[in-house]
């Protein structure tokens, strides 16, 4: 259940193009004072790549720039046993996220002048994670029952550790599970059943006691995610606004149980970022939300359960775009909140 009335508060997906964590956190804390997020910095180090960032402690893992694979050695069985024991004991402190893997996380935590309403973290989703790592035969570990189960349990422990770490900043936390692979659900690239997919999500969610979100930047079957215990769904509203409209009944039930939508309405395309304004994005978002109002989900109720974000991460964009997007996001939030009576 949501623990706050959001009314279009802004936050971000996480990745930034900076190599200096201080510069990235400066931008985030300037524009996102209510819900800051720690920045993932893939250009700073390959260890901050989307999957490598959460690989520390994965049994048999090897990383070489943009490649990750499992190569069992003499200590593999012992590492696997240690992981499962930590999972059973919920000993998440055995699997921290080191500063060399997440400089932005530690930089955000070092700031003493923050007073946010919530703080947001993120972790790679189990599908994307297991499709990014190869087994000894060169196949994705998603299709290896033992390795995929171990990887998912590791993500659960990483999520727990991260949430406890973020509570140093604010007791109210949001952890997003970033799952671009969900856009392949139903295709030959992701031949898993609905039950298998939801089971993997619930495994990771079980490590999160605060708010849980899922981000998918493409189109997907949103009803699957809304059937889980997730609190917030986040999607690229700028490019795929109609994708959620197909699931109006599911969304109505989701909102009724306290769920929320994080509308990814600020584009991350650099040309669009230069052309759009807060006013134009307000009109675009209100048009998307009006569909649900016409189907029995009042606009005011949906607004209460709405955040706004960029459409996706900014890690591969220019430094100018990485500042323009949160600036535009903050302007849009202020405009929406003034119009809908929250400030």
27 is a domain residue: yes
Q: At residue 160, does pLDDT exceed 50?
A: yes
pLDDT at 4: 67
User: Tokens 């999160």 appear where?
Assistant: 208
Structure tokens at 48: 């901050």
Sequence-separated (6 or more) residues with CB below 8 Å from residue 79: 59, 60
What is the maximum alpha-carbon separation in the chain?
Answer: 63
Residue 110: give its domain's CATH number: 3.20.20.210
296 is a domain residue: yes
85 is a domain residue: yes
- In percent, the amount of the chain with pLDDT more than 90 equals 92
What domain count does the chain have?
1
Q: How many CB atoms lie within 10 A of CB 18?
A: 23
Summarised one tens digit per residue, pLDDT across range 64-81 is 987 999 999 899 999 999
2 is a domain residue: no
How far is residue 15's CA from residue 316's CA, in Å, rounded to a whole number?
Answer: 8
Summarised one tens digit per residue, pLDDT across range 218-275 is 889 999 999 999 999 999 999 999 999 999 999 999 999 999 999 999 999 999 999 9
How far is residue 281's CA from residue 332's CA, in Å, rounded to a whole number?
Answer: 7
How far is residue 298's CA from residue 275's CA, in Å, rounded to a whole number?
Answer: 30
3 is a domain residue: no
User: Is residue 44 within 8 Å of residue 107, measured between CB atoms?
Assistant: no
Which residue range is the domain that position 60 belongs to? 9-339
How far is residue 175's CA from residue 162's CA, in Å, rounded to a whole number?
Answer: 8
4 is a domain residue: no
71 is a domain residue: yes
Summarised one tens digit per residue, pLDDT across range 175-212 is 999 999 998 887 777 888 999 999 999 999 999 999 99
Q: What is the pTM of this model?
A: 0.96
176 is a domain residue: yes
């Amino acid at each position: 259940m949501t623990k706050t009335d959001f009314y279009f508060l802004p936050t971000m997906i996480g990745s930034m193009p900076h190599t200096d964590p201080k510069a990235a956190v400066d931008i985030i804390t300037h524009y996102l004072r209510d819900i800051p997020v720690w920045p993932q910095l893939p250009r700073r180090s390959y260890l901050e790549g989307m999957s490598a960032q959460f690989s520390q402690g994965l049994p048999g893992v090897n990383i070489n720039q943009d490649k990750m694979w499992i190569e069992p050695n003499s200590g593999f069985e012992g590492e696997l046993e240690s992981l499962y024991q930590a999972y059973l004991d919920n000993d998440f402190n055995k699997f921290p996220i080191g500063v060399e893997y997440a400089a932005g996380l530690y930089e955000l935590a070092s700031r003493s002048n923050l007073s946010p309403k919530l703080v947001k973290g993120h972790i790679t989703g189990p599908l994307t994670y297991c499709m990014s790592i190869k087994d000894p035969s060169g196949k994705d570990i998603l299709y290896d029952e033992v390795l995929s189960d171990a990887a998912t349990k590791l993500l659960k422990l990483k999520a727990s550790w991260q949430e406890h770490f973020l509570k140093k900043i604010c007791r109210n936390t949001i952890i997003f599970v970033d799952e671009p692979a969900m856009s392949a659900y139903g295709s030959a690239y992701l031949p898993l059943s609905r039950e298998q997919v939801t089971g993997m999500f619930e495994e990771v969610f079980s490590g999160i006691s605060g708010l849980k979100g899922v981000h998918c930047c493409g189109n997907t079957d949103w009803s699957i995610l809304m059937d889980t215990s997730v609190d917030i769904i986040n999607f690229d509203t700028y490019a795929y606004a109609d994708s959620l409209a197909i699931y109006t009944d599911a969304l109505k039930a989701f909102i009724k149980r306290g769920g929320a939508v994080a509308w990814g309405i600020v584009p991350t395309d650099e040309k669009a970022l230069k052309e759009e304004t807060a006013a134009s994005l307000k009109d675009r978002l209100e048009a998307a939300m009006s569909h649900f109002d016409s189907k029995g989900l009042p606009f005011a109720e949906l607004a209460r359960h709405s955040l706004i974000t960029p459409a996706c991460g900014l890690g591969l964009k220019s430094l100018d775009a990485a500042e323009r997007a949160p600036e535009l996001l903050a302007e849009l939030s202020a405009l929406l909140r003034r119009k809908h009576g929250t400030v």
